[in-house]
Amino acid sequence: MKVKLLQVGPLGTNCYILEDEETREAAVIDPGGDAPAIEKALEGAELRYILLTHGHYDHTGGAAELAEAFPAAEVYVHPKDCPGPDRYLFPLETQVPGVRFYGEGDEIALGSAKVEVLHTPGHSEGSVTLRCGDLLFCGDTLFAGSCGRTDFPGGSVPKMLASLRRLGELEGDLQVLPGHMEPSTLEAERAHNPYLRQAMRETP
């Protein structure tokens, strides 16, 4: 599985292209803007999915344009972030006809691999982490050395700590691919991330 990173949109959101190298089927995760640049970076791969870790505009701002360019691609978001009550949520239900919903435990086939959905609220009610093998696409839940904000509508400190604890308890040294800033590893975050360490000290 090949992963390509682009920084897109006004806030430099990390947008990932996940491509099965045998079938050339691809998924775009969090197209926060710059849809033409994302299309160019696909380099002829077949875009099957547009997968959103949550509904904030800086992660979804290019979804409508990308979906228009690739009408066969399926767009997924957690239902708690579409529609949403706060102004930070992009109006996907009106901008992207046929948007689909996924949630905890769902799996999406991409070539020979599977993308598993982990519901990890805290930054927003509908935040998810997408796992593909040893890759964790964490959106704005887990960052290198930090975590997502909880002061937006739909945010919650207790839910964020529970989500961080859940990620910290996953087995193995998985790759952490966040929605902003640099990538990391789960072992590094267990050792040095104060928010993750706090979450893992607290009992459920």
User: What is the reported pLDDT for 97?
Assistant: 73
User: What is the reported pLDDT for 74?
Assistant: 96
User: What is the reported pLDDT for 78?
Assistant: 93
Spans of the chain, pLDDT less than 70: 83-95, 203-204
User: What is the reported pLDDT for 86?
Assistant: 47
User: What is the reported pLDDT for 90?
Assistant: 58
Element (H, E) at 76: strand 74-77
